[in-house]
Amino acid sequence: MNVTSSVREPLVTGGKTWADITNDICRQVEGKPSKSWIIAFTFSVLLLGVGVFCVMYTWFVGIGVWGLNKTVGWAWDITNFVWWVGIGHAGTLISAILLLFRQKWRTSINRAAEAMTIFAVLCAASFILLHMGRPWLAHWALPLGNTYGSLWVNFNSPLVWDVFAISTYLTVSVVFWYIGLIPDLATIRDRATNKISRLIYGTMAFGWNGSAKDWSRFEAVSLVLAGLSTPLVLSVHTIVSMDFATSLVPGWHTTIFPPYFVAGAIFSGFAMVLTLMLITRKVFHLEDYITLAHVESMNKVITLTGSIVGVAYITEFFIAWYSGVEYESYAFINRATGPYWWSYLAMMTCNVFSPQLFWFRSVRRSILATFVISIVVNIGMWFERFVIIVTSLHRDYLPSSWAYFTPTWFDIGDYANSFGLFFTLFLLFSKFLPVINMAEVKAILKSAGDVQTGQATGNAKVKSNETVSHN
Amino acid sequence: MGSHSTVHYNLDEKYDFTPEAKKRVLMWLFIGLAMFGVGLAMLIMGGGDHGHEVAHGATAGHGGAHAPTWTARLYAVLWHNALFFTGISLIGVFFVSIQYVAWAGWSVTIKRIPEAFGAFLPFSFVAMLVIFLLGGHDIFHWTHADAVAHDEVLQGKSAFLNTPFFLVRMVLFFGLWYFIWRIIRGYSAKEDLEGGLTYYNKTITVSAVFLIIFGVSTSMVAWDWTMSINPHWYSTLFGWYHFASWWVSGIATIVLTVLLLKEKGLLSFVNQNHLHDLGKFMFAFSVFWTYLWVSQFLLIYYANIPEEIIYFKERMHLYDGHYRGLFFFNIIINFLFPFLFLMTRDAKRQTILLKIAAIAIIIGHWLDFYLMIMPGVTKGTSGFGFLEFGTVTVFASAFIYVISTQISKLGLLAKNHPMLQESLHHDI
């Protein structure tokens, strides 16, 4: 027996029934692509086309086409990589960690968030290939050892750990996401009206028949994968942070990096989920499934993680002064007042100040404000990585080699490529697969649907203070 | 799932801190004091030798300026315990605030336990203040004006590390913590009498304010009270590491208190599912502590910068490896043990196993704080004797006395909490 307190807001509104959920979410999979989808998809593919041209040119000519110089050897490439990997944290966090915390609101957003995670990790991986300059030697990052000569990869290097962490994370995320899709794919198969869809969705559904045995296995596998994903998702950004923190570069070598990077990753990941879901919700008319209660909960996570990041910024700044180390202090003063002061200002404003607006309930529950802030946060998180990477490098120990990094069109074009890839994949996903996990939303309907819990405004009446559902 | 029969709980259940129980706790307090006295006498009589022995080993940022005397060990031991029990009391308030802000339903039946912990804050405040005023010079090298005068690095920090500002921060943070705890506790008491959602909603707001203050102050007190013992050493992660150790100790103390009350036949509304969740917290945050431990250790080890690595050198190699055993035991008892022991579902649902885990974690993190504090103050002259066990007995008895009194003041169940039914029917 489960009880849901009446102080909790319903998570499914509009008096939906189990059948309504299936119809509402399958509608866009089964129907013809809408006009807005076709326009968005065309634009994304065009962007991807331009991006692919830039990437091919970069590989053909070499990474000299970027604005790198002898002092700043990492700039937009690694900034973009870290930014995308960070975004790719939200899906697994929502599916695994919010599952452990029994947050029912995750059910409406986990599917899209996981899909977004996979696409973001692919975008991140593209920058690893890009910054190698010679992508045909990418397999050298794997520990293949003597097969290719007498040298192993350097196991002491966090760059190698990155290869393991991210490839494992990508694999587990894809498996987790796909397994979660199976019951929904079977629903679409069962509703299919033409042979081709039945064949495609039927193949993808792996012969799911909805028996108790199927569900029992499904739940066992999901639990194991959730258990695996939790440490994995934390390990990924921890190791990304160690790409910097194991070095001796002032501004990079600081012990707070691992947890602070993870908090920042969740922060930007949630912001990206919000950006995408607020559009999806509007275009696909899913307001009854992604309610203001969902938006508000996500905004709270953004406020929390944004504040953790803020405390970390202040801690770094304070300890740089407190340490009494000249180079540490200079690195941080240079961030704030040096030639890149504008990027530091962008980072502070977007990441530390903007989420504080969510302390006001009216802002947390405003779709427009949330949409704007979600984009602002991701701009800020891009600048955070830019600040960490470029401003720590551009004035190194030898003042004679101090330099300034300016991006070229190919820095911008290669970045655009990742957006093209990301949106193309996301649009394909949102058209051909159910963007909301039907099976899981159905599972919470009894305890969180407005009519089912007697919280519907209108005809349904509030029966008692507490609603008891027997299941 | 399960049966549909309704169990009727006594919603007005109270804990009675009987005169016999009081006597028993006070007896332990006196036993602790006696042990402390014996330990102190032994220390004074045998203290001289130790000081000389270690004089050359004292390289940790003090440049071997002066060897620790017996008073160093005395104040370090007192400071260690005051700090540890401050942490547990504070975590009680933090735990309750999180439950409110996160709209947690499951924890209502145990809420009154952590809620009582804040009552110890004034006592630990007085303890810390007195220890600092009496023994500040022994614990904190930066309080010596002559040492600072010859030390450029310490001069650079003196805007932050100076006695008046240190005291201001201490008073301010304790004041804020206690003040907010009083409000939260007051609302909780009024909710019992008046019901309604007013106090619930107000507590959410106050809890959010507390979390902001807590978020900033826990890092700052970690710098003040623990990191500045090694005034040349710094680590940006230290504040969060220090918090994680407090947090796990606090959760384990909540678990232990709940179990002890259940043993008395109270808290019948706390079922296995609540225990399971508490067990998950102990498990998860033990891993979280380990994560921060590894992050801090690995990055300092990798960079191998003399100013930073000295912290781990002191704990692994210096003073003839005085702390080496403890350094590794710390990881075993605080990571390996809870990780393996609490892995299974059953371990988190059975009273006896949970109790063993909670006690181990409390001891483990007490040792973790020992390891944070002792090397910097006492160099190689620390130990485990009557002094240490006496002091911890005194602090633990005082804590138990104050908390038991506080728990007995209100009902054990927050009977008008809007999430009460969720918690009473908690089933996972």
- Judged by CB atoms within 8 Å, which residues 142-161 of B form the interface with A? 152-153, 156-157, 160
Residue contact A253–B157, C-beta within 8 A: no
Instruction: Scan for tokens 């220090």, then name that residue.
Output: B242
Residue B224: CA atoms inside 13 Å, Cβ hemisphere, count? 24
- Please give the model's pTM, rounded to 2 decimal places: 0.92
Q: Kindly state whether B306 is in contact with chain A, defined as any CB-CB distance less than 8 angstroms.
A: no
Hey, of B6, B299, B335, B415, which one would you mutate to test binding to chain A, going by the most A CBs within 10 A of its CB? B299
Can you give the pLDDT at residue B1?
Answer: 40
Residues belonging to chain B? 428
User: Is B61 inside a domain boundary?
Assistant: no
Question: For chain B, first and last CA: distance in Å?
Answer: 9
The answer to whether residue A132 neighbours chain B at the CB level (below 8 Å) is no
* A308 in B contact zone (CB under 8 Å): yes
b/e for A199-220, b at 16 or more Cβ within 10 A?
eebbebbeebeeeeebeeebee
Among candidates A5, A246, A247 on the partner chain, residue whose Cβ is nearest the Cβ of B422: A5
Classify B415 in phi/psi space as left (phi over 0), alpha (psi -120 to 50) or beta: alpha
Sequence-distant (≥ 6) Cβ neighbours of residue B36 within 8 angstroms: B386, B387, B390, B391, B393, B394
Phi, psi dihedral angles at B47 (to 5 degrees): -70, -35
**Which DSSP state fits B113?**
H
For chain B, state the CA radius of gyration: 22
Mutation target among A99, A316, A323 for the B interface, most CBs of B within 10 A: A323
A5–chain B nearest CA distance, Å: 5
Q: Report the C-alpha gap between A419 and A48 in whole angstroms.
A: 7
Pick from B103, B208, B236: which is nearest to A319 by CB?
B236
Instruction: Flag whether B259 is in a domain.
Output: yes
Burial of residue B307 (CB within 10 Å: 0-12, 13-18, 19+) is middle
Contact A1 B425 (CB under 8 A): yes
**In this structure, are residues A270 and A375 in contact, taking their beta carbons and an 8 Å threshold?**
no
Determine contact, residues A16/A445, Cβ cutoff 8 Å.
yes
Nearest residue to B91 via CA among B391, B428, B399, B388:
B399
* B54 belongs to a structural domain: no
Q: Is residue B423 within 8 Å of residue B109, measured between CB atoms? A: yes
Residues of B in contact with A245 (CB under 8 A): 299
Q: Which residue has the tokens 């050198």?
A: B313
| Distance separating alpha carbons of residues B87 and A82, to the nearest angstrom | 36
Decide if B299 and A311 are in contact by the 8 Å CB cutoff: no
Query: Considering its fold, how many domains does chain B have in total?
Result: 1
Of A5, A255, A307, the CB nearest to B236: A255
Q: Smallest CA–CA separation between A359 and chain B, in Å? A: 9
Tens digits of per-residue pLDDT, A11-48?
888 888 889 999 999 998 888 898 989 999 999 999 99
CA distance A250 to A254: 8
* Amino acid, single-letter form, for residue B294: V
CA–CA distance, A392 with A405 (Å, rounded to integer): 12
Burial class (CB in 10 A: 0-12, 13-18, 19+), A282: middle
A185 touches chain B (CB under 8 A): no
Single-letter code of the amino acid located at B285: F
Shortest distance, CA A321 to any CA of chain B (angstroms): 8
**Kind plus residue range of the DSSP H or E element containing A296:** helix A292-323
Q: Could you tell me how far CA B105 lies from the centroid of its own chain?
A: 25
For B154, which residue in chain A has the nearest alpha carbon? A324
Q: What is the mean pLDDT of chain A?
A: 89
Query: Which residue bears the tokens 């302390």?
Result: A359
Nearest CA in chain A to B287: A231
- Could you tell me the CA-to-CA distances from B325 to A221, A307, B76, B254, B331 in Å, in that order? 41, 38, 20, 29, 10
Contact between B132 and B170 under an 8 Å Cβ cutoff? The reply is: yes
CA distance, residue B232 to nearest chain A CA (Å): 7
Beta bridge partners of A449: A12
With a CB cutoff of 8 Å and minimum separation 6, the contacts of A433 are A29, A111, A115, A181, A184, A185
Scanning every residue of chain A, which has its alpha carbon at the shortest distance from the alpha carbon of B208?
Answer: A359
B133 contact A CB<8A: no
With an 8 Å Cβ cutoff, are A255 and B422 in contact? no
Nearest to B283 by CA among B335, B240, B359: B335
Tell me if B63 is assigned to some domain: no
What does the alpha-carbon distance between residue B157 and residue A321 come to, in Å, rounded to a whole number?
A: 8
A469 sits in which H/E element:
strand A466-469
| Whether B421 contacts chain A with CB within 8 A | yes
Q: A-chain residues within 8 Å CB-CB of B302? A: 246
A430 touches chain B (CB under 8 A): no
Q: Tell whether A256 lies on the interface with B, counting CB pairs under 8 A.
A: yes
Query: In this structure, is residue B60 part of a structural domain?
Result: no
Give the tokens for residue A274. 């919000």
B223 DSSP 8-state letter:
I
What number is the average pLDDT over the span A114-118? 93
Cα separation, A195 vs B300, in Å, equals 62
Tell me which residue of A218, A184, A220, A223 sits closest to A204, measured CA to CA.
Answer: A184
Strands (E), A163-226: none
A453 close contact with B: CB closer than 8 A: no
Cβ(A425)–Cβ(A122) below 8 Å: yes
Residue B324 · residue B317 · CB < 8 Å: yes
Q: Mind telling me how many Å the CA of A286 is from chain B's nearest CA?
A: 25
| A&B contacts, CB < 8 Å | 102
Which residues on A lie below 8 Å from B219 (Cβ)?
Answer: 311, 315
From the list A1, A5, A323, the residue facing B418 with the nearest CB is A5
Q: What is the pLDDT of residue A135?
A: 87
Inspect the interface and report whether the beta carbons of B422 and A234 lie closer than 8 Å. Answer: no
- What is the arithmetic mean of pLDDT over A111-126? 93
pLDDT string in tens for chain B (428-residue length):
444 445 678 888 889 889 999 999 999 999 999 999 998 888 888 754 444 444 444 444 444 445 678 888 899 999 999 999 999 999 999 999 999 999 998 999 999 999 999 999 999 999 999 999 998 888 998 988 888 888 888 888 989 999 999 999 999 999 999 999 999 999 999 999 998 899 999 999 999 999 999 999 999 999 999 999 999 999 999 999 999 999 999 999 999 999 999 998 898 899 999 999 999 999 999 999 999 999 999 999 999 999 899 999 999 998 888 999 999 999 999 999 999 999 888 888 989 999 999 999 999 999 999 999 999 898 888 888 899 999 999 999 999 999 999 999 998 999 899 998 888 888 88
Q: Which helix (H) or strand (E) holds A432?
A: helix A409-432
DSSP readout, B35-59?
HHHHHHHHHHHHHHHHHHHHGGG--
What is the predicted pLDDT for the residue at A146?
Answer: 66
Does residue B8 lie within any of the structural domains?
no
**A253 and chain B in contact, CB less than 8 A:** yes
User: To the nearest whole angstrom, how far is the Cα of B302 from the nearest Cα of chain A?
Assistant: 6
**Residue contact B212–A307, C-beta within 8 A:** yes
Sign of CA dihedral B372, B373, B374, B379: positive
Measured between beta carbons, the chain B residues lying within 8 angstroms of A258 are: 237, 291, 295, 299
CA distance A188 to chain B (A): 30
How far apart CA B84 and CA B242 sit, in angstroms, is: 10
* Whole-angstrom distance, CA of residue B92 vs CA of residue B185: 11
Cα B162 to chain centroid distance, Å, stands at: 25
SS3 assignment for A3-31? EEECCCCCCECCCCCHHHHHHHHHHHHHC
CA dihedral A376, A379, A383, A385 (to 10 degrees): 110
A316 to chain B, minimum CA–CA distance in Å? 6
Dist. CA A118–CA A97, nearest whole Å: 17
Q: What are the structure tokens assigned to B404, written together?
A: 């038991």
Sorted by sequence, the CB contacts under 8 Å of residue A408 that are 6+ apart come out as: A65, A66, A67
pLDDT over 80 at A417, yes or no: yes
Q: Is residue B65 part of a domain?
A: no
Query: Under a CB-based contact definition with an 8 Å cutoff, are residues B270 and A234 in contact?
Result: no
Cβ distance B425 to A234 less than 8 Å, yes or no, reads no
> Tokens 């500040």 correspond to what residue?
B136
Rounded CA-CA distance A128/A140 in Å is 12
pLDDT at A134: 87
- Tell me if A7 and B200 make a contact (CB, 8 A cut-off): yes
Q: Which residue of A has its CA nearest to B305?
A: A248
Nearest residue of chain A to residue B4 (CA atoms): A1
- Which ranges of B195-237 does DSSP label H, i.e. alpha helix? 198-221
* Chain A residues closer than 8 Å to B277 by CB: none
Look at residue A225 and give its three-state secondary structure: helix
From chain A residues 337-356, the ones with a CB under 8 A of any chain B CB are: none
A159 touches chain B (CB under 8 A): no
Contacts of B4 in chain A (CB under 8 A): 1, 470
When scoring A105, A160, A255 by the number of chain B Cβ atoms within 10 A, the one with the most, hence best to mutate, is A255
Nearest-CB residue to B299 (from A246, A308, A470): A246
Tell me if B303 and A257 make a contact (CB, 8 A cut-off).
no
By Cβ distance, the residue of A234, A246, A322 closest to B303 is A246
Residue written as token pair 């290097």: A157
- A329 CB-near residues (< 8 Å, 6+ apart): A320, A321, A323
* ipTM of the complex model: 0.91
Would the pLDDT of A2 be above 90? no
**Is there a domain that residue B7 lies in?**
no
The range of the structural domain enclosing residue B275 comes to 16-46+70-424
